[in-house]
Chain A
């Protein structure tokens, strides 16, 4: 192993420009994936924020006894899809309307009778915030005799569903394409190193080095370049993120960067790509000579 490490260091020392270029190439190709990843996680974050607003509202018939509503609330809270149930009385509805609907404030103040019904506001658990589950909960809610009407913003939730599905598919396709491009770039940079050291490899073979031994330093070099390229790309992503946030993103709140775990996963991906690129390039070379 010590020899393998020495060979890698020797290679970096001997061809610093080529090494730096290949690390930069890996870094930039990972950077494209990283940027895409950042957009994806922020988009996902925004969608999650929107999805939190998915709620099913059941309007309660006037004059329904509070005990019935309390009992029903407990039943509804036990639905597997339901996160929590909030009972809003007629008075609370009016207060909220006066507070939130400023343009009608005057009209609400002069009312002799409160026209707003009481309601049960039901928030869904994260995995159930889609049309199908909202509809199921709405159907069950309609089964309660004191529930007059049920609303869950069907069109809006359907649009959210479509957006989520589309984002998933587009994300997968573009992410995959970027990953393929990055792997090809890494493969090519390692291949240049392999070709540059073709004489060394042929001598190794002549004196009886096994293919495994010959591969060793290249794999180590690929992994090292992968991790260095990964660090470089994380740095680029961080700089881009900061610049975007300070210049353009002032109006967009809640922008997030990768978590530590995601950074580790990203570096691990870099190492895997470095190893994969080396394995393919050296393997092909060893088969051809």
Chain B
């Protein structure tokens, strides 16, 4: 589903962002990307949704090779991804319902199917009753749920979450994390960048830790021998 092969990425100022990063994420997996600020977590995610291209190496996502994507192929890749950010990135002048519908409208979904699909996904994230509310009328946790609903409305096989609980209190964090687990249980790959180590420890999902642009720990590799029967 996702494969990084010897990926190098350099910032425009010449500083290295990623150094020889390789990993493989198969279908259905939940993966934490951890590390301090500037370790390269967001760069990994931005390579996954083709906001940046690798300087060296290959990034494969859902059958697309990110380094070789033409401008026309970028939207096609992104329609196969759901993306969630720490700052929610909702449109303030649209209701929860309209924010979610927006993702369908701009991707040429059939108009008559949009209201049903929007309500279904808002129900799934537990916000059906808040459909007509504007973002300013919602709590942080609720806004993030709307963002997740928008990410899910196209039924993507992969969900990328960049610090989705970074702006939330403990209760909201638990709620959003629980929602991401349920989404993963439905078969969607979830790649979540976080530095909430308590959450990582509790969940026992695969963890890839980055430091200075390199992978310093990957539970799938480093713990594999001891995990084997």
**Partner-B contacts on A (CB < 8 A):** 2-3, 14, 199-200, 202-211, 213-214
Q: Is there contact, CB below 8 Å, between B78 and A203?
A: no
The minimal Cβ–Cβ distance linking B99 to chain A, given in whole angstroms, is: 9
B12 part of interface (Cβ distance < 8 Å): no
Q: Is there contact, CB below 8 Å, between B89 and A199?
A: yes
Q: Is there contact, CB below 8 Å, between B78 and A207?
A: yes
Q: Which 10 A-B pairs have the closest CB atoms?
A: A208-B79, A209-B106, A208-B78, A207-B103, A208-B75, A210-B75, A204-B106, A208-B107, A206-B83, A3-B105
Q: Is there contact, CB below 8 Å, between A205 and B91?
A: no
* Chain A residues positioned under 8 Å from B79 (CB to CB): 207-208
B71 part of interface (Cβ distance < 8 Å): yes
* Chain B residues positioned under 8 Å from A3 (CB to CB): 105-106
Q: Is there contact, CB below 8 Å, between A211 and B91?
A: no
The minimal Cβ–Cβ distance linking B84 to chain A, given in whole angstroms, is: 10
**Partner-A contacts on B (CB < 8 A):** 49, 71-72, 75-79, 81, 83, 89, 91, 93, 102-103, 105-108, 111, 150, 154
CA distance A199 to B99 in the complex (A): 13
Chain B residue, CB-CB nearest to A207: B103
Most chain A CB within a 10 A radius of its CB, from B77, B108, B111, B154: B108
* Chain A residues positioned under 8 Å from B102 (CB to CB): 203-204, 207
Given contacts A3-B105, A209-B106, A209-B107, contact A203 B89 (CB under 8 A): yes
Q: Is there contact, CB below 8 Å, between B91 and A213?
A: no
Q: Is there contact, CB below 8 Å, between A205 and B78?
A: yes
Q: Is there contact, CB below 8 Å, between B78 and A206?
A: yes
10 contacts between A and B (CB under 8 A): A3-B105, A203-B102, A206-B49, A206-B89, A207-B150, A208-B103, A208-B106, A210-B72, A210-B75, A211-B75
* Chain A residues positioned under 8 Å from B150 (CB to CB): 207
* Chain A residues positioned under 8 Å from B77 (CB to CB): 208
CA distance A214 to B78 in the complex (A): 15
Chain A residue, CB-CB nearest to B153: A207
CA distance A210 to B154 in the complex (A): 15
The minimal Cβ–Cβ distance linking A57 to chain B, given in whole angstroms, is: 71
* Chain B residues positioned under 8 Å from A199 (CB to CB): 89, 91
Chain A residue, CB-CB nearest to B99: A203
Q: Is there contact, CB below 8 Å, between A209 and B89?
A: no
The minimal Cβ–Cβ distance linking A55 to chain B, given in whole angstroms, is: 65
CA distance A214 to B74 in the complex (A): 14
Chain A residue, CB-CB nearest to B82: A207
Q: Is there contact, CB below 8 Å, between B107 and A207?
A: yes
Q: Is there contact, CB below 8 Å, between B91 and A209?
A: no
The minimal Cβ–Cβ distance linking B77 to chain A, given in whole angstroms, is: 8
Q: Is there contact, CB below 8 Å, between B107 and A211?
A: no
The minimal Cβ–Cβ distance linking B118 to chain A, given in whole angstroms, is: 13
CA distance A81 to B19 in the complex (A): 82
* Chain B residues positioned under 8 Å from A200 (CB to CB): 91
Chain A residue, CB-CB nearest to B49: A206
* Chain A residues positioned under 8 Å from B49 (CB to CB): 206
Most chain B CB within a 10 A radius of its CB, from A203, A206, A209: A206
Most chain B CB within a 10 A radius of its CB, from A204, A208, A210, A211: A208
* Chain B residues positioned under 8 Å from A208 (CB to CB): 75-79, 81, 103, 106-107, 154
- Apart from A205-B78, A206-B83, A206-B89, 16 more pairs, CB < 8 Å: A2-B111, A3-B106, A199-B91, A203-B89, A204-B102, A204-B106, A206-B78, A207-B102, A207-B103, A207-B107, A207-B150, A207-B154, A208-B75, A208-B107, A209-B107, A211-B75
